[in-house]
Every structure is written in C-alpha cells, then in structure tokens.
Amino acid sequence: MTSTNVDYYCAAFDADGKRIYSAICDFDPTKDKNTDKVQALKDKAKETVSDAAVIEIITADDFNAYLDGKVRGSDGKPTDYIPPEPTETEKKTAKINTIKAKYNSQLDAMVTARVKATMLGADTSKIDANYKNTLAAMATEIKNA
C-alpha cells in the first residue's frame, strides 16, 4: 500500500545507489503511447543531475522505500543501506578523538583551578606540573593510537 496519490516517479541515483533526484510521473509509463514522455522525463532528470549513475521510472512503493532510507541495490530494487567499513585513517581519527575527549575535561578543570589559584595569589606550581603531565600522557596515548 502506498502513502502517496502518485503511482510512478522518475528517480535518479548516484553510483552508491542513493536517490539524488525525483519527479512525479503523472502518466502511465508502461503504455507505449507514453514512450516520448518517459524519455522527456528522464532527459529532464539528466539535465538536473548530470552526475546520476542511473535514471529510471520507479513505482510509488519503491519511492516510499527510498524515502525510508533504502538505497538502490545492484538488482535495481530498494535495499537496506550498509555503510562502508571505516578506513584505517578514519579509525585512527576516531581513536584520537576519544583520547582527546577523555583528557579535555581534566585539562579544562586544571585551567579553571589555575585561574582561581592565580586570582587568590596561591602557588600554581603543582597545578602546572599536573597539567604538563596530563598533556604528556595524552600525547603518548595519541602517538600510540
């Protein structure tokens, strides 16, 4: 059952199968008399998104599946999107960001404590040493990530 009052759409997909364009097809594309209309609709899509890998007429049910996050599979049908495995660089960046997040709250607390100690005229050498040690520990973890 469709949740639209349209039976067909013209859709364009990129090389990864993601829908990048759609337009209402307000005629029956399965009838021979509408061949020119189908081609005109596809040509308009090609003008609009010149980098489309595939342009085709799809049913309203397929259109709704694409709206729900599916992508065009190699068989031309809607299929679940499976994200690619992260690259080694992406994995390393994620590890580094996790390490930074772990240390940032500690470093921020030390900066705040140092500002307060300075305002009160107190000795900040212990805070400074702790800050440097924490930075060094973070740098070591990042280097080994």
Residue 3 lies in a domain: no
Confidence grade of residue 3 (pLDDT, cut at 50, 70, 90): low
Residues 113 and 139 in one domain: yes
How many domains does the chain fold into?
A: 2
Phi first, then psi, for residue 20 (nearest 5°) are -115, -5
pLDDT tens for each residue of 12-53: 999 999 999 999 999 999 999 999 999 999 999 999 999 999
Q: Please report, rounded to a whole number, the percentage of residues in the chain having pLDDT higher than 90.
A: 92
Residue 75 lies in a domain: yes
Residues paired with residue 55 on neighbouring β-strands, in sequence order: 12
Residues 93 and 34 in one domain: no
Among 56, 79, 102, the domain-final residue is 79
Residue 127: which domain range?
88-144
Which candidate, 2, 54, 53, 48, places its Cα nearest to that of 23? 48
Residues 96 and 52 in one domain: no
Residues 106 and 58 in one domain: no
Residue 1 lies in a domain: no
Q: What is the pTM of this model?
A: 0.61
Residue 32 lies in a domain: yes
Confidence grade of residue 2 (pLDDT, cut at 50, 70, 90): low
Residues 13 and 50 in one domain: yes
